[in-house]
C-alpha cells in the first residue's frame, strides 16, 4: 500500500535521518520505536512533505507522491497527525472536523466519515461547539485524529499520539486506533510508549541515530532481548 | 450630540470596513500592506471617473470596481508578493520584506494617480439629499454608505464563519503549517484572502468617495487608520475591527464637535495608546507566539 524509501533529512550539517525505508499495508498497524531525537518525527514529516527530503520515494497504491506538496499528499490519501497535534486551537471541534474533510476525496463520504469519528470518539459529538484550545490534552488528541480521519485516508501517520496522556487515556486511545485499523486504514505510528504500542501493532521498525536498525513482527520484537533492554525495560524504569 | 454620534457611527462603520480588509491581508496572507490606502483612493477615483465621465451611479459602479480590484489584488499577490513569500524563511522575515515592497508600491500607485489627476481635492455630489434620522438631519449618501458597509461586513463575517472556504481562510490565519495537513493550498488561500482584502478596501473607497473629498495623496491617512483599528481590535479579529472602528469614528466625531476638529488625530492616537496600555494584544487579541 504505502512504500517509502531513500528518506534522508538534514538540519544544516546534522543528518537527522539517512536512507530510511519502510512499507505499510492496508489494515496494518506499524510502530516505529526509537529514543528522543532518533529521527522518528523527521521520518513522518518527510513522508508527509513537511520537511524537504530531495531524493525520497513515496508510493501509495502504486501512485508516486514523492514530489507532491503537503496539501496534495493529503489529497492522495495520506494523513498526518503531527507531534503536538496541530489542531486549530482557535476554531471549534465542528470546524476542525469540517476542515478535515477538505480534500476532494473526502467530500463524497463526509457524512459517513463523520459518523465513524463520532462512534470512535463519542465525546467529540458532545463538544462540537467547543473551542479546541479550551479542551484537555486527551480531547485535543481525539480532535486531531478525528480531523485526520475525516480526510478519508488510506494511511494514517501518527506522531507520538500518547505523549502527555494519562495511562488510562493511552489505553483508550490505542483501543480506538485498533478500531481504525478494522476499517481497513493502515496506521504508521511513531511512539516512545513501546509497551502499549507493540501490544496493538502488527509489525515494528527500530530507529537509532537516524538509521533504521531493525524490523520485525510485533510479537517477535516484544520478546527480543535487545528491544526489551532498550525500550521496554528502559521505559519501565523511566516511569518510576 | 445626536448629530455627532450619527456622524461618528457612519465614520466608524467605514473605518471598520477598511480595517476588515487589512486584517484579512495581514492576518491571513501575512502581508503588511503599506499601500493599502492607495487602493482605497484608486477606487474613489474610479468611482469619480465613472460618475462624472459615464454618469454611472457609484452604487452600480461597485459592481465594476469590486471584481476589478479583486483581480488586481490577486495578480499583485501572485506576481509581486509570491516570490517574497517563497524566499521568506519565517513569518517575521516575510513581514519585513512585505513592508518594504508595499512601501515602494505606495509611491508607484500614488505617482500614477498624481500624474492622472493632479494634487487637487476631488468630490462629486451624489444623493446629497438631507434625510431626518432620530430628529437629526443627515445626508442620504452617508446613510447609504453606512448601510452598505454593514451589509458587506456582515456578508464577510458569514462567509468566514459559515462556509468551508471561509473556515479554510481562518485556518490559514490560525496555523499555516497545520492548514497544509487538511489539504489547504496555503499560497492559493493567502492570495484569495489578499484579493478579498483588496476588494473590501475598494468598496470602502467607493462608499467614502460619495461623501468625503479626497486627493491622490490622502491614501496614507486611511492606511494609518486601518492599522490603528486592526492593532487596537486584535490582529485577525473581525469583531475587533468593528468595535475598534466604531470607537475610533465616535471619538473623532465627538472631539471634533465639542472640543476642536484639529484634535481628531490626537484623539486617534490617545485612544490607540490607551487601549494598548491596558490590552497589549488589542481588545479581542490573545497574547500568543
Residue B177 and residue A50: Cβ atoms within 8 Å?
yes
On average, the pLDDT of chain A sits at 91
- Supply the Cα-derived Rg of chain B in whole angstroms: 19
On average, the pLDDT of chain B sits at 91
A236 confidence band (pLDDT: 50, 70, 90)? very low
User: Which chain A residue's Cα is nearest to B181?
Assistant: A71
Give this prediction's pTM: 0.89
Distance from CA of A75 to the nearest CA of B (A): 6
B175 at interface of A, judged by CB pairs closer than 8 A: yes
Of B167, B174, B180, Cβ closest to residue A89: B174
The pLDDT of A127-141, averaged and rounded, is 94
Residue B73 scores a pLDDT above 50: yes
Of B177, B183, B186, Cβ closest to residue A102: B183
| pLDDT for the residue numbered B130 | 86
Beta carbon pairs, A and B, within 8 Å: 64
The pLDDT of B72-88, averaged and rounded, is 92
| pLDDT for the residue numbered B206 | 95
B178 at interface of A, judged by CB pairs closer than 8 A: yes
User: Which chain B residue's Cα is nearest to A71?
Assistant: B183
| Alpha-carbon gap, residue B194 to B213, rounded angstroms | 27
Residue A102 and residue B174: Cβ atoms within 8 Å?
no
B184 at interface of A, judged by CB pairs closer than 8 A: yes
| pLDDT for the residue numbered A233 | 66
| Alpha-carbon gap, residue B74 to B81, rounded angstroms | 10
Residue A25 scores a pLDDT above 80: yes
Residue B174 and residue A88: Cβ atoms within 8 Å?
yes
Residue A235 scores a pLDDT above 80: no
Residue B96 scores a pLDDT above 50: yes
Q: What is the pLDDT of residues B6-47, one digit of tens each?
A: 889 999 999 999 999 999 999 899 999 999 999 999 999 999
Location of C-alpha cell 521498525: A205
Of A79, A82, A99, Cβ closest to residue B168: A99
Distance from CA of B175 to the nearest CA of A (A): 7
Residue B183 and residue A71: Cβ atoms within 8 Å?
yes
Residue B140's DSSP bridge partners are: none
Of B167, B185, B186, Cβ closest to residue A99: B167
Query: Any idea of the CA torsion for B12, B14, B15, B16, to the nearest 10 degrees?
Result: 90
B254 confidence band (pLDDT: 50, 70, 90)? very high
| pLDDT for the residue numbered B287 | 56
Please state the separation of Cα B146 from the chain's center in Å. 14
| Alpha-carbon gap, residue B222 to B244, rounded angstroms | 15
Chain A positions touching B184 (Cβ under 8 A) are: 71, 99, 102
Reported ipTM: the value is 0.87
**Residue of B179, B178, B181, B177 whose CA lies nearest to B169:** B179
Q: What is the pLDDT of residues A137-160, one digit of tens each?
A: 999 999 999 999 999 999 999 999
Chain A positions touching B168 (Cβ under 8 A) are: 99, 102
**Residue of B242, B247, B241 whose CA lies nearest to B270:** B247
Interface test with B, best of A65, A79, A99, A113 (most B CBs within 10 A): A99
| pLDDT for the residue numbered A50 | 93
Distance from CA of A197 to the nearest CA of B (A): 24
B234 confidence band (pLDDT: 50, 70, 90)? confident
- Please report the sign of the dihedral spanned by the C-alpha atoms of residue B141, residue B147, residue B151, residue B153: positive
| pLDDT for the residue numbered B135 | 80
Distance from CA of B182 to the nearest CA of A (A): 5
A239 confidence band (pLDDT: 50, 70, 90)? very low
| pLDDT for the residue numbered A234 | 52
| Alpha-carbon gap, residue B10 to A237, rounded angstroms | 68
Distance from CA of B234 to the nearest CA of A (A): 14
Other residues' Cβ atoms within 10 Å of the Cβ of residue B127: 17
Residue A238 scores a pLDDT above 50: no
The pLDDT of B184-192, averaged and rounded, is 94
What is the share, in percent, of chain B residues with pLDDT greater than 90?
70
Q: What is the pLDDT of residues B135-182, one digit of tens each?
A: 888 889 899 999 999 999 999 999 999 999 999 999 999 999 999 999
Of B168, B175, B183, Cβ closest to residue A74: B183
Total residues found in chain A within this entry: 240
| pLDDT for the residue numbered B47 | 94
**Residue of A83, A52, A25 whose CA lies nearest to A201:** A25
B180 at interface of A, judged by CB pairs closer than 8 A: yes
Amino acid at each position: 500500500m504505502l512504500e517509502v524509501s531513500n528518506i534522508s533529512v538534514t538540519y544544516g550539517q546534522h543528518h537527522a535521518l539517512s536512507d530510511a525505508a519502510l512499507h505499510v499495508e492496508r489494515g496494518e498497524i506499524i510502530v516505529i520505536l526509537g529514543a528522543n531525537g532518533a529521527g522518528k518525527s523527521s521520518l513522518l514529516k518527510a513522508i508527509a512533505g513537511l520537511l524537504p527530503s530531495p531524493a525520497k520515494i513515496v508510493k501509495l497504491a502504486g501512485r508516486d507522491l514523492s514530489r507532491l506538496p503537503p496539501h496534495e499528499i493529503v489529497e492522495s490519501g495520506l494523513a498526518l497527525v503531527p507531534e503536538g497535534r496541530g489542531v486549530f486551537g482557535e476554531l471549534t471541534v465542528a470546524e476542525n472536523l469540517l476542515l478535515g474533510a477538505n480534500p476532494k476525496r473526502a467530500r463524497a463520504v463526509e457524512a459517513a466519515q463523520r459518523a465513524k469519528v463520532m462512534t470512535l470518539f463519542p465525546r467529540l459529538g458532545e463538544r462540537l461547539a467547543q473551542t479546541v484550545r479550551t479542551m484537555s490534552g486527551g480531547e485535543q488528541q481525539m480532535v486531531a485524529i478525528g480531523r485526520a480521519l475525516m480526510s478519508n485516508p488510506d494511511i494514517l501517520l501518527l506522531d507520538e499520539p500518547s505523549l502527555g496522556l494519562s495511562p488510562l487515556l493511552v489505553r483508550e486511545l490505542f483501543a480506538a486506533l485498533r478500531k481504525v485499523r478494522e476499517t481497513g486504514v493502515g496506521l504508521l505510528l511513531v511512539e516512545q510508549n513501546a509497551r502499549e504500542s507493540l501490544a496493538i501493532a502488527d509489525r515494528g521498525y527500530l530507529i537509532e541515530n537516524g538509521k533504521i536498525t531493525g524490523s520485525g513482527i510485533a510479537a517477535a520484537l516484544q520478546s527480543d532481548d535487545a528491544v526489551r533492554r532498550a525500550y521496554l525495560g528502559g521505559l519501565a524504569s523511566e516511569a518510576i | 450630540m445626536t448629530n455627532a454620534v450619527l456622524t461618528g457611527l457612519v465614520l466608524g462603520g467605514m473605518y471598520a470596513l477598511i480595517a476588515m480588509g487589512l486584517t484579512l491581508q495581514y492576518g491571513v496572507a501575512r502581508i503588511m500592506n503599506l499601500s493599502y490606502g492607495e487602493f482605497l483612493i484608486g477606487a474613489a477615483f474610479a468611482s469619480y471617473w465613472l460618475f462624472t465621465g459615464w454618469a454611472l451611479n457609484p452604487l452600480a459602479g461597485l459592481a465594476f470596481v469590486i471584481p476589478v480590484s479583486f483581480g488586481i489584488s490577486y495578480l499583485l499577490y501572485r506576481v509581486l508578493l509570491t516570490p517574497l513569500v517563497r524566499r521568506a524563511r519565517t513569518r517575521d522575515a516575510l513581514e519585513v520584506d512585505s513592508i518594504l515592497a508595499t512601501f515602494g508600491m505606495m509611491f508607484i500607485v500614488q505617482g500614477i494617480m498624481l500624474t492622472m489627476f493632479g494634487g487637487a481635492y476631488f468630490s462629486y455630489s451624489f444623493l446629497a439629499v438631507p434625510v431626518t434620522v432620530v430628529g437629526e438631519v443627515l445626508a442620504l449618501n452617508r446613510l447609504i454608505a453606512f448601510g452598505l458597509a454593514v451589509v458587506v461586513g456582515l456578508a464577510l463575517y458569514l462567509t468566514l464563519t459559515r462556509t468551508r472556504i471561509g473556515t479554510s481562510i481562518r485556518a490559514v490565519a490560525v496555523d499555516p503549517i497545520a492548514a497544509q495537513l487538511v489539504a489547504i493550498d496555503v499560497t492559493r488561500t493567502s492570495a484569495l484572502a489578499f484579493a478579498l482584502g483588496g476588494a473590501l478596501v475598494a468598496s470602502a473607497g467607493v462608499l467614502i468617495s460619495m461623501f468625503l473629498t479626497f486627493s491622490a495623496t490622502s491614501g496614507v491617512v486611511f492606511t494609518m487608520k486601518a492599522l490603528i483599528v486592526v492593532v487596537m481590535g486584535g490582529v485577525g479579529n473581525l469583531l475587533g475591527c468593528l468595535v475598534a472602528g466604531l470607537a475610533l469614528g465616535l471619538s473623532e466625531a465627538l472631539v471634533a464637535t465639542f472640543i476642536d476638529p484639529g484634535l481628531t488625530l490626537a484623539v486617534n492616537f490617545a485612544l490607540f495608546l490607551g487601549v494598548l496600555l491596558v490590552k497589549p494584544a488589542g481588545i479581542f487579541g490573545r497574547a500568543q507566539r
